[in-house]
């Protein structure tokens, strides 16, 4: 008898597909099917209905890969949620969530993780000492079970011997026991840490998310470690998500030093496919008790999940920017809720979305207001007013003198150059006028080549004015020019300083961060120069000075998230100063020392400015006060992309109005041209998440399935981070 099963495959289509099978296949079973002319891997989503009458012939499942059990229900659940929330095809979502090796239409080979154990008969066997090799192996087995590698280390020919002993009933293969929990180097918690830990431990509403809001160096990691210890003691697994850049050997070492015997799986995109598969399966089979990874680790099946931790929850790398555009923190929150386990989101600079959730009572906040290390105070922050200071090539004398002083004293400094591609706006240096859009609340972005100001929210365009429309000043110019020169200028101004540059290029290699740490800790560096990468949680030890250049450009960017990001980055980078015994100093060059963002930075008052930003967003109706989705289109010409979006816009107009969703655009993308294609976008925005998603459901029905090739391509981004 044949049964029909539903199979998901990795294609850009919304449905799953029917195939015939000669037996009932469980949900989650990996199979091989032919799809069109291709052989593809599939996953069974619905098992065995008795064969229906099909009007057409349906194909058979070609092969069943049963070297692994079917994918667990909790995993399929998460995939289902992600596909629905991000309006992404189910099959593509599922295959994004799987490690690469499981996406291929072939069986995987996994190392046999079982160990050799002596049977009572084997123990009585008394291998004579004159059989040197065999005696050594036997003795080793009397002491402890042996993994295959362990046996080989005792005797190179172990495999053959063990096989023979297995036939004689002297040894068997058994699953390795979970090693006992060993905990080393625990630090006694301070009052604030203890209060946080106790609150989480004692909570009667475990799956309401926690925000652990602790200033840099306040000992958040120590709190995580002690929470994890309790979970491990209770026989639970723990999932720890960290930003890409933070998943350094130093961080992993902190975990493995604390729990030296606990099997820990590390998952990120640089882990080779084979290794990643093993780590993933280890977590799924409960062998790995801790999983530490970047965003993709959020999908790792963990049958005994007891807690989820998301460190630096504000970090942009949790959001995937292509394919399935998911946010790992948000999926983690859903997953924890579903599994009814606690989730802790940690940060010194939580994002506004999270703070809004705290305000609304959905998340609970725990505060670590002070640095944990007895001697480490927060650094003093001073603003250097560049309007009055003498400058050479963008560097003030004050900053140069401070750097020279540290170089002389052999203390480490960090120069932070804010160089990210913030969309430049035009400003007046006299009265502070900024190019705003007359039609919406966005800023106009300057396109120098065309001498145009353009709104990337609604599509408005105008010429760049020659004088300030408010005060008539002729000195109006785009903010944020000339950052590139700064670095070279530093080298010339401080010829004896040993300068180490850190950016995307210099940190590409896997070992790059190790080298950097080694050089820094060996005292071979005077000044670290770098961009956003340096704002993350690196511990360079005694950083005595942080100089921040060019922050202003981001202050008035067209991206409504730019101020939030700048604020967060500045707090993080300032947090690198004075982490050990020496107090740190932060110097920030700016044209606008009176700006509330900088004032909050000087006062170490995150809350005040965050509240101000949140107020602004509410006033303007931007996220988190509203919910957005972006439909992007790209084509060989902008006209094609825009035409497509116009058509969609027209179809959406009526239902959008009925459900209170605003449709803005189409507008050309910030970077219109990319890889010879031109891009435009439509923004959908609503104060009601449900209304937005309802409209998205309709939208996806109208979108062409054919979404590959050289013609028009579209993508949908729910909760976009880049606008
Ligand atoms: P965060 O994760 O908040 O940046 P860490 O956990 O890395 O902070 O802690 C910063 C420093 O303070 C580390 O060197 C850590 O060993 C130390 N530390 C943490 N908790 C304590 C404590 N209770 N007493 C003393 N030192 C602590
Ligand atoms: Zn002016
Ligand atoms: Zn506009």
Cα of 469 to ligand 3 centre, how many Å? 18
The predicted pLDDT at position 211 comes to 98
The predicted pLDDT at position 433 comes to 81
Q: 251 in ligand 1 pocket by Cβ < 6 Å?
A: no
Q: 223 in ligand 1 pocket by Cβ < 6 Å?
A: no
- pTM of the predicted model, to two decimals? 0.87
Cα of 465 to ligand 2 centre, how many Å? 11
Radius of gyration of the CA atoms of the chain, in A: 29
CB atoms within 10 A of CB 324: 17
The ligand 1 atom at the shortest distance from the C-alpha of residue 580 is 14
In sequence order, what are the residues at sequence separation of 6 or more whose Cβ sits closer than 8 angstroms to the Cβ of residue 427? 433, 434, 435, 476, 477, 478, 479, 556
pLDDT tens readout for residues 20-42: 988 889 999 999 999 989 999 99
Three-class secondary structure of residue 614 per DSSP: helix
In sequence order, what are the residues at sequence separation of 6 or more whose Cβ sits closer than 8 angstroms to the Cβ of residue 430? 468, 471, 473, 475
Which among 206, 212, 186, 202 has a CA at the least distance from the CA of 306? 206
- Its sign, for the CA torsion 530, 536, 539, 541, is positive
Most confident region among 74-83, 430-439, 487-496 by mean pLDDT: 74-83
Q: 222 in ligand 1 pocket by Cβ < 6 Å?
A: yes
- Judge contact between 467 and 474, C-beta under 8 A: yes
Q: Which of 222, 315, 345 to mutate to test the pocket of ligand 1 (most atoms within 8 A of CB)?
A: 222
> Residue 140: which H helix or E strand, with range?
helix 132-143
Q: 145 in ligand 1 pocket by Cβ < 6 Å?
A: no
Peptide bond into 666 cis (omega under 30): yes
Cα of 376 to ligand 1 centre, how many Å? 10
Smallest-distance ligand from the CA of 459: 3
For atom 10 of ligand 1, the residue with the nearest CA is 217
Cα of 440 to ligand 3 centre, how many Å? 4
Q: How many residues does the chain have?
A: 723
**Token pair 């409504």 is at which residue?**
560
Cα of 613 to ligand 1 centre, how many Å? 29
Helices (H) and strands (E) in the chain, counts: 21, 31
- Judge contact between 377 and 578, C-beta under 8 A: yes
Backbone φ/ψ region at 604: left (φ over 0), alpha (ψ -120 to 50), beta = left
CB atoms within 10 A of CB 363: 19
Q: Where does the pLDDT of residue 150 fall: very low under 50, low under 70, confident under 90, or very high at 90 and above?
A: confident
The answer to whether residue 723 scores a pLDDT higher than 80 is no
pLDDT tens readout for residues 688-719: 999 999 999 999 888 877 666 668 899 999 99
Smallest-distance ligand from the CA of 441: 3
**Residues within 5 Å of ion ligand 3, judged at the Cβ atom:** 437, 439-440, 442, 455, 457-458, 460
In sequence order, what are the residues at sequence separation of 6 or more whose Cβ sits closer than 8 angstroms to the Cβ of residue 44? 5, 6, 7, 8, 25, 26, 27, 28, 29, 31, 70
- Residue 107's Cβ-count burial label (10 Å; 0-12, 13-18, 19+) is middle
Q: In what order do the strands lie in the sheet with 264-267?
A: 264-267, 290-293, 237-241, 305-311, 343-347, 210-214, 364-368
Q: 190 in ligand 1 pocket by Cβ < 6 Å?
A: yes
The answer to whether residue 420 scores a pLDDT higher than 60 is no
The predicted pLDDT at position 86 comes to 97
Cα of 665 to ligand 3 centre, how many Å? 9
Half-sphere exposure of 590 (CA within 13 A, CB side): 24
pLDDT tens readout for residues 27-81: 999 999 999 899 999 999 987 665 555 556 788 999 999 999 999 999 999 999 9
The ligand 1 atom at the shortest distance from the C-alpha of residue 539 is 7
Q: Which of 186, 192, 217, 226 to mutate to test the pocket of ligand 1 (most atoms within 8 A of CB)?
A: 217
The ligand 1 atom at the shortest distance from the C-alpha of residue 190 is 23
Mean pLDDT computed over every residue of the chain: 88
The answer to whether residue 538 scores a pLDDT higher than 70 is no
String of DSSP letters for 180-230: PP----PPPP-HHHHHHHHHHHH-SSTTS-EEEEE-TTSSHHHHHHHHHHH
The predicted pLDDT at position 421 comes to 44
b/e 116-134 (16+ beta carbons within 10 angstroms → b): bbbeeebeebebeeeeeeb
Smallest-distance ligand from the CA of 473: 2
Range 504-523 average pLDDT: 77
Cα of 453 to ligand 2 centre, how many Å? 17
Measured in degrees and rounded to the nearest 5, phi and psi for residue 395 equal: -105, 130
Give the span between the Cα atoms of 289 and 311, in whole angstroms.
18
- Judge contact between 452 and 463, C-beta under 8 A: yes
Cα of 475 to ligand 2 centre, how many Å? 8
Give the span between the Cα atoms of 51 and 486, in whole angstroms.
71
Smallest-distance ligand from the CA of 438: 3
CA-to-CA separations, 101 to 328, 458, 595, 626, in angstroms, rounded? 21, 43, 51, 39
Q: 221 in ligand 1 pocket by Cβ < 6 Å?
A: yes
């Amino acid at each position: 008898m044949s049964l029909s099963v539903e199979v998901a495959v990795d294609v850009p289509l919304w449905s799953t597909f029917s195939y015939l099978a000669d037996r009932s296949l469980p949900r989650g079973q990996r199979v091989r099917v032919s799809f069109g002319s291709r052989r593809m891997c599939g996953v069974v989503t619905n098992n065995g209905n008795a064969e229906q009458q099909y009007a057409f012939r349906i194909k058979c499942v070609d092969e069943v890969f049963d070297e692994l059990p079917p994918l667990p229900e909790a995993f399929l659940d998460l995939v289902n949620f992600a596909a629905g929330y991000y309006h992404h095809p189910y099959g593509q979502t599922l295959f994004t969530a799987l490690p690469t090796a499981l996406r291929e239409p072939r069986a995987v080979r996994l190392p046999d993780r079982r160990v050799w154990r002596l049977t009572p008969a084997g123990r009585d066997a008394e291998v004579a000492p004159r059989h040197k090799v065999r005696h050594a192996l036997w003795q080793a087995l009397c002491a402890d079970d042996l993994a295959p590698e362990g046996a080989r280390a005792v005797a190179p020919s172990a495999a053959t011997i063990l096989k023979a002993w297995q036939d004689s009933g002297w040894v068997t293969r058994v699953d390795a026991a979970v090693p006992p929990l060993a905990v080393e180097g625990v630090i006694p918690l301070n009052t604030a840490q203890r209060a946080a830990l106790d609150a989480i431990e004692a909570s009667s509403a475990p799956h309401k998310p926690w925000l652990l809001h602790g200033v840099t160096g306040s000992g958040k990691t120590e709190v995580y470690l002690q929470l994890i210890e309790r979970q491990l003691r209770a026989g639970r697994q723990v999932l720890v998500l960290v930003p890409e850049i933070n998943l350094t050997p130093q961080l992993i070492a902190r975990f493995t030093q604390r729990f030296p015997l606990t099997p820990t799986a590390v998952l990120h995109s640089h882990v080779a496919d084979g290794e990643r598969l093993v780590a993933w399966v280890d977590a799924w089979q409960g062998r790995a008790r801790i999983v530490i990874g970047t965003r993709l680790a959020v999908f790792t099946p963990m049958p005994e999940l007891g807690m989820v931790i998301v460190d630096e929850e504000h970090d942009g790398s949790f959001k995937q920017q292509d394919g399935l555009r998911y946010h790992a923190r948000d999926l983690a929150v859903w997953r924890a809720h579903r599994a009814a386990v606690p989730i802790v989101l940690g940060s010194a600079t939580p994002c506004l979305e999270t703070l809004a959730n705290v305000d609304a009572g959905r998340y609970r906040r725990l505060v670590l207001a002070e640095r944990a290390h007895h001697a480490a105070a927060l650094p003093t922050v001073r603003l250097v007013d560049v309007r009055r200071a003498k400058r050479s090539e963008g560097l003030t004398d004050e900053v140069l003198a401070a750097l020279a002083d540290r170089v002389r004293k052999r203390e480490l400094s960090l120069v932070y150059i804010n160089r990210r591609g913030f969309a430049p706006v035009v400003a007046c240096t006299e009265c502070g006028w900024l190019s705003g859009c007359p039609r919406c609340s966005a800023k106009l972005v300057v396109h120098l080549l065309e001498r145009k100001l353009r709104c990337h929210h609604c599509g408005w365009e105008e010429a760049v004015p020659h004088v300030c429309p408010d005060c008539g000043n002729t000195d109006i110019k785009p903010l944020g020019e000339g950052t590139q020169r700064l670095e070279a200028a530093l080298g010339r101004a401080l010829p004896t300083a040993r300068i180490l540059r850190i950016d995307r290029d210099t940190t590409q290699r896997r070992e790059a961060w190790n080298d950097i740490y080694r050089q820094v800790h060996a005292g071979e560096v005077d000044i670290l120069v770098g961009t956003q990468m340096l704002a993350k949680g690196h511990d360079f030890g005694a950083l005595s000075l942080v100089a921040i250049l060019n922050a202003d450009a981001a202050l008035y960017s067209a991206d409504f998230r730019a101020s939030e990001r700048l604020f967060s980055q500045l707090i993080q980078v300032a947090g690198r100063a004075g982490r050990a015994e020496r107090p740190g100093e932060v110097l920030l060059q700016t044209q606008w020392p009176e700006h509330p963002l900088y004032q909050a930075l000087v006062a170490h008052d995150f809350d005040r400015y965050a509240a101000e930003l949140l107020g602004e967003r509410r006033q303007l109706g931007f996220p988190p006060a509203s919910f957005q989705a972006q439909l992007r289109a790209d084509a060989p010409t902008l006209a094609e992309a825009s035409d497509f979006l116009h058509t969609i816009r027209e179809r959406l107009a009526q239902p959008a109005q009925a459900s209170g969703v605003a449709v803005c655009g189409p507008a050309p993308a910030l970077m219109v041209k990319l890889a010879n294609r031109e891009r435009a976008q439509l923004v959908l925005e609503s104060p009601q998440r449900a209304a937005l998603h309802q409209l998205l459901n309709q939208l996806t029905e109208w979108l062409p399935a054919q979404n590959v090739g050289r013609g028009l391509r579209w993508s949908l981004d729910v909760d976009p981070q880049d606008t």
